[in-house]
Structure 1
Amino acid sequence: MSVKKIIICDAIHEKGFQFLEKESDVEVINAAALPKDELLKVIADADIAITRSPTAVDSKFLEAAKNLKALVRAGVGVDNVDLDGCSKRGIIAMNVPTANTLAAVELTMAHMLSCARSFTNANNHLKIERVWKREKWYGIELYGKKLGVIGFGNIGSRVSVRAKAFGMDVVTYDPYIEPSKATDLGVTYTENFDDILGCDFITIHTPKNKETVGIISHDEVAKMKDGVRLINCARGSLYDETALYDGLKSGKIAFAGIDVFSYEPATDHPLLDLENICVTPHLGANTVESQEKIALQAAECALYAARGVSYPNALNLPIKTEDLPQDIVPYMELMQKMAYFAAQVNRAQIKSIRIKTEGEVSQYAKSMLTFAVVGALKDSVGDKINYVNATYVAQEKNIDISFEEIPHSSSYHNKATVTLTTQKGVTTIAGTVFEEVEQRIVNINGFGFDFKPKGKMIVFKNKDVPGAIAGIATLLAKRNINIADFRLGRGKDDDAMAVILVDEAIDKQTLNELNTLDSCLWVSYAIL
């Protein structure tokens, strides 16, 4: 087993380090405290890098990182990452877009309440100036007001739900979602941006790109209601700051809540001179819980990449995942994981790789097949397989690949299945995704399950007889192997299958001993 080197270039929460350091197939290099010129000297041998805002992934960085296969930006924004440069060098770049979701949602609500009640000004008036003047700080209620939400992704949708709990009437503009995603939550969906401009409050939750920079400028402010209140806890430059300043100065915009600026740190910004604005220094991800999630998810992405299992939230694949509907991308990743899982369970020369997609995801079956081929061939081909050459490699190896599309699913809203045929036999694994991001494997060779595709797993098929589970547990206990989870599926022919999540790596001797149990029909080991 080759050991991959993961270099951590910037400070992350200690739980991220702990997650990686317990894995025997990776070596962790902590370079967070190194000056950036020193970092360039130690990065040459790294296979995977984890970075944050302080590290510029520019031409100097990429030239120094001669062995780099993947890069994880521990956070949402990738403004400091040269994605084109990564692509030219075959480096897959990933980010961690959902770890700070709740933190950003709650900060948005804090700014919304401050916009309504001027909490910060009232606090400063009393605490700093020591003036008790209640009549100066009349605000408005959120109840009954109309909120316009620009962007209805992970954050925008959750802000909407919370705003509705305050009794607000919510309307959203997002041309990249199905309207039902909003209407199912009781939110009005509009294709007319002017409907947003007519709201009492407006908040924005979009990525920063050519389409969204300056999406609110002078013309849009002119169309707004007098006394509108604006919030931006997403990215700087989405609101034209000159237009924002002019609107606040004139009173057209009654109040604004701003967490992000075009250029940061914004310690000398004209907006700071205005009274009718609440500002924070880019605190969207600044909660203890969020930092832990960011570190753990970044570490998990790095581990997946090191093992070649998958590349979560990849930003520069030939298949542009950022252009796909948000709820489709997890199925791409799940398909690759299931194929990789199947190849480990059924270790032999592969004859065919077939996938079946059911439900709305079926229209993306061809793209998902590429992910399945990469997953299935990763163990046998290694770093030579990628998303560009996957089908060609399969053809060279005379592996038959195909996909089946079923527009409607009988058991789940969406379902993905991969079937791997080798010289030893056939392995079929099916999965689905709950609540947009929760990946689950729900079936292996006809045995029903429900478990996350991650970790060290023993797959054990056995006769469905008394004592089978006890025999497994006893043997693992003798070898000091801790069972983290145990999932059992029962078949129709007096047999059963167990998927056992363990904390320690399983060696061949342990597998051989499990195979000698009276109840055992076969046993395999897989790491995801």
Structure 2
Amino acid sequence: MLKYKIIVCDHIHNAGIEFLKKQNDIEMLDYSNLPKIELLSKIGDADVVITRSSTDIDNKFLQSAYNLKALVRAGVGVDNVDIESCSKRGIVVMNVPTANTIAAVELTMAHMINAVRNFPSANHQLKNEKIWKREDWYGTELKDKTLGIIGFGNIGSRVAARAKAFEMDIIAYDPYIKESIIIDSGVRVATSLDMILKCDIITIHTPKNTETKNIITKKEIDKMKDGVILINCARGGLYNETDILEAAKSKKIRWLGIDVFDKEPSNSNPLLSLDNIYVTPHIGANTLESQEKISIQAATIAAEAARGSSYPNALNLPIKENELPYFVKPYLELSQKIGFFISQISKGAIRTLNITCSGKIASYANSLATFGTLGVLKHSLGDSINYVNAMFVAKERGINININTKDGGASIYKNLITIEAASANNSISISGCVFDEDKLRIVDINGFSMDIEPLGKIVLFRNTDVPGVIGNIGKIMEKSNINIADFRLARNNNEALAMIIVDNNISNSTLDELSKIQACLSVNYVVI
């Protein structure tokens, strides 16, 4: 009987090991105790490997695993996996994104309760100092306090459900979730981050990306209540650590509950020195239940992938040269990039996606639509969105997807893909094509003709077409020490749209300065 070989590279809960041992068609080898250099000599004929964060899936690993068809990351993060190299080799990369949801939710609640009742400090005084001093430990109650939740996905929404049991007043901010979903949960909708900043307690549950990194800085802290409580059990770097340290020292922030840090391990972080900061060493997933669930799910996924029956939670799509015409593959990448571009400039939850494919690529419209939808959702959902679940998640979020095809005869472009995204507040349409077989280009943005590669750091500046605008933009960029690599300009009906490619990251303060130019109609920053 043919047996598929699954190799476990890192320690997982024994439940997953036992599951694999019981599969008659699978040979399971547990090499989690092997030194990594020895592991490379053992993985050559593996069909599937299961890893955690201790094994780097790099070119050396992939060259050694010459028979590898799939890889399962037993957890959420895939920072240690070279997904692009896996994709080029036809290796499916999968993770286990939801098994630790409840663990992360409950840790958030633990930090919140610790912050209002000072349990760790009271415990320390009584147990270690042998002091019985009740008057030192007057806390506050969660009841009737306003909780602000940034991010209302799997974890944020469940935190809200538990906070409701404490009779808290809850308000949530998530521009990528339909307002009706938040309202149906019995939670008030924040239409801007500023509304969250007025809350008594603030917790964050978002992926880490260009939009959410440093989402809380001194500027936001200054708008908060004196004595605010902040919680972060999501990702390090969402709160600016330098700024929250200073605010905690001054007691502007009364308590901080933190499980994640910018750099980990974080043994010498200055945040550890303050008495009003409760910390845990990134243990959001560290419950026996979640580790067991992660292990069983990872083992189940690995078995299914080995058999080729399904690839749950796939984070990539194998690129097989013999299955796609050469001209289609760059359009898949272009479609995803256009979607990702749109996601960063769209205002509000997207309700409709119109995806139109013209020319020969129209025969592959469904695949292009999947890549485009993935791009639209990737910015807000991070690793939880993939090629397998993109369409399902879009439908779940109430996004209506329309796929259209044209023969391309009326267009000046041989092949063209257009993605139009409509929200309650605005509509954005971007078209692109591929020149010389592999040169990806955006050729139209909302009726402005362009010719720009969707790559790098890009500022979109729309303005009334009057003299002096370019000069003013240049002065602000010079003042901010931003080097302009390229400047493309399009004009349409007394308006102009500039696409400014820059070498440096653009700060919110620079974007604010640009928005104050009198002729400015809108300004957006995109990183692709």
> Same-fold call, TM > 0.5?
yes
Q: TM-score, normalised to structure 1's length?
A: 0.61
Report the CA distance shift for 1:306/1:203 in structure 2 as closer, same or farther (over 3 A). Answer: same
- The residue number in structure 2 matching 1:346 is none
State the alpha-carbon separation in 2 of the partners of residues 244 and 358 from structure 1.
38
Report the CA distance shift for 1:283/1:243 in structure 2 as closer, same or farther (over 3 A). Answer: same
Report the CA distance shift for 1:79/1:330 in structure 2 as closer, same or farther (over 3 A). Answer: closer
TM-superposed deviation, 1:188: 1.2
Superposed CA RMSD = 2.7
State the alpha-carbon separation in 2 of the partners of residues 233 and 3 from structure 1.
41
In the TM superposition, what whole-angstrom CA distance separates every residue of 1:272-309 from its partner, at most 9, and x where no partner exists? 10000111111111111111100011111111211222
Secondary structure (helix, strand or coil) at the match of 2:222 reads helix
State the alpha-carbon separation in 2 of the partners of residues 260 and 359 from structure 1.
29
2:29 is matched by which residue type in structure 1?
I
1:94 is matched by which residue type in structure 2?
M
- The residue number in structure 1 matching 2:92 is 92
- The residue number in structure 2 matching 1:154 is 154
- The residue number in structure 1 matching 2:36 is 36
Report the CA distance shift for 1:361/1:116 in structure 2 as closer, same or farther (over 3 A). Answer: closer
The correspondence of residues 483-502 of structure 1 with structure 2, limited to 5 A, is none
Number of residue equivalences: 346
- The residue number in structure 1 matching 2:521 is none
The correspondence of residues 107-506 of structure 1 with structure 2, limited to 5 A, is 107-317=107-317, 319=370, 321=374, 323-324=376-377, 363=400
State the alpha-carbon separation in 1 of the partners of residues 179 and 280 from structure 2.
33
State the alpha-carbon separation in 2 of the partners of residues 86 and 208 from structure 1.
23
8 A contact 2:86–2:92 mirrored in 1: yes
8 A contact 2:312–2:388 mirrored in 1: no
In the TM superposition, what whole-angstrom CA distance separates every residue of 1:139-193 from its partner, at most 9, and x where no partner exists? 2111111111111111111000000110111111112222222111101122301
TM-superposed deviation, 1:364: 5.3
State the alpha-carbon separation in 1 of the partners of residues 219 and 163 from structure 2.
27
Report the CA distance shift for 1:324/1:312 in structure 2 as closer, same or farther (over 3 A). Answer: farther
8 A contact 2:216–2:239 mirrored in 1: yes
1:107 is matched by which residue type in structure 2?
L
Report the CA distance shift for 1:296/1:209 in structure 2 as closer, same or farther (over 3 A). Answer: same
8 A contact 2:173–2:191 mirrored in 1: yes
TM-superposed deviation, 1:6: 1.1
Report the CA distance shift for 1:270/1:136 in structure 2 as closer, same or farther (over 3 A). Answer: same
State the alpha-carbon separation in 2 of the partners of residues 316 and 365 from structure 1.
23
8 A contact 2:173–2:196 mirrored in 1: yes
Secondary structure (helix, strand or coil) at the match of 1:27 reads strand
Report the CA distance shift for 1:360/1:10 in structure 2 as closer, same or farther (over 3 A). Answer: closer
State the alpha-carbon separation in 2 of the partners of residues 69 and 229 from structure 1.
47
Secondary structure (helix, strand or coil) at the match of 2:41 reads helix
Secondary structure (helix, strand or coil) at the match of 2:234 reads coil
State the alpha-carbon separation in 2 of the partners of residues 6 and 146 from structure 1.
49
8 A contact 1:315–1:322 mirrored in 2: no
In the TM superposition, what whole-angstrom CA distance separates every residue of 1:22-80 from its partner, at most 9, and x where no partner exists? 11222212111111111111112112111111112223222222222211111111222
State the alpha-carbon separation in 2 of the partners of residues 51 and 358 from structure 1.
31
2:13 is matched by which residue type in structure 1?
H
8 A contact 1:68–1:91 mirrored in 2: yes
State the alpha-carbon separation in 1 of the partners of residues 375 and 296 from structure 2.
22
TM-superposed deviation, 1:209: 2.3
Q: Which moved more, 1:302-311 or 1:28-37?
A: 302-311
- The residue number in structure 1 matching 2:73 is 73
Secondary structure (helix, strand or coil) at the match of 1:229 reads strand
Secondary structure (helix, strand or coil) at the match of 1:103 reads helix
Secondary structure (helix, strand or coil) at the match of 1:126 reads helix
1:118 is matched by which residue type in structure 2?
N
- The residue number in structure 1 matching 2:436 is none
Report the CA distance shift for 1:331/1:79 in structure 2 as closer, same or farther (over 3 A). Answer: closer
TM-superposed deviation, 1:10: 0.5
1:267 is matched by which residue type in structure 2?
N
TM-superposed deviation, 1:241: 1.1
In the TM superposition, what whole-angstrom CA distance separates every residue of 1:101-146 from its partner, at most 9, and x where no partner exists? 1111111100000111111111112211222222222221111111
8 A contact 2:117–2:139 mirrored in 1: yes
State the alpha-carbon separation in 2 of the partners of residues 133 and 18 from structure 1.
50
Report the CA distance shift for 1:322/1:42 in structure 2 as closer, same or farther (over 3 A). Answer: farther
State the alpha-carbon separation in 2 of the partners of residues 322 and 312 from structure 1.
19
Secondary structure (helix, strand or coil) at the match of 2:181 reads helix
Q: Which moved more, 1:83-92 or 1:101-110?
A: 83-92
8 A contact 2:71–2:92 mirrored in 1: yes
8 A contact 1:310–1:333 mirrored in 2: no
State the alpha-carbon separation in 1 of the partners of residues 396 and 13 from structure 2.
39
Structure 2: give runs of 5+ residues left out of the alignment: 318-331, 333-369, 405-528
1:45 is matched by which residue type in structure 2?
D
- The residue number in structure 2 matching 1:58 is 58
- The residue number in structure 1 matching 2:15 is 15
TM-superposed deviation, 1:240: 1.3
State the alpha-carbon separation in 1 of the partners of residues 122 and 261 from structure 2.
24
Alignment of 1:46 onto 2:46: yes
TM-superposed deviation, 1:335: 10
2:201 is matched by which residue type in structure 1?
F
Secondary structure (helix, strand or coil) at the match of 1:298 reads helix
- The residue number in structure 2 matching 1:6 is 6
TM-superposed deviation, 1:218: 1.9
State the alpha-carbon separation in 2 of the partners of residues 287 and 242 from structure 1.
30
Secondary structure (helix, strand or coil) at the match of 1:62 reads helix
Structure 1: give runs of 5+ residues left out of the alignment: 337-356, 368-528
Report the CA distance shift for 1:322/1:6 in structure 2 as closer, same or farther (over 3 A). Answer: farther
1:242 is matched by which residue type in structure 2?
T
Q: Once the two structures are aligned, what percentage of the paired residues are identical?
A: 59
8 A contact 2:315–2:386 mirrored in 1: no
2:11 is matched by which residue type in structure 1?
A
- The residue number in structure 2 matching 1:412 is none
1:221 is matched by which residue type in structure 2?
I
In the TM superposition, what whole-angstrom CA distance separates every residue of 1:202-259 from its partner, at most 9, and x where no partner exists? 1111122222222212222122111110111112111111111111111110001111
State the alpha-carbon separation in 2 of the partners of residues 190 and 311 from structure 1.
37
8 A contact 1:146–1:199 mirrored in 2: yes
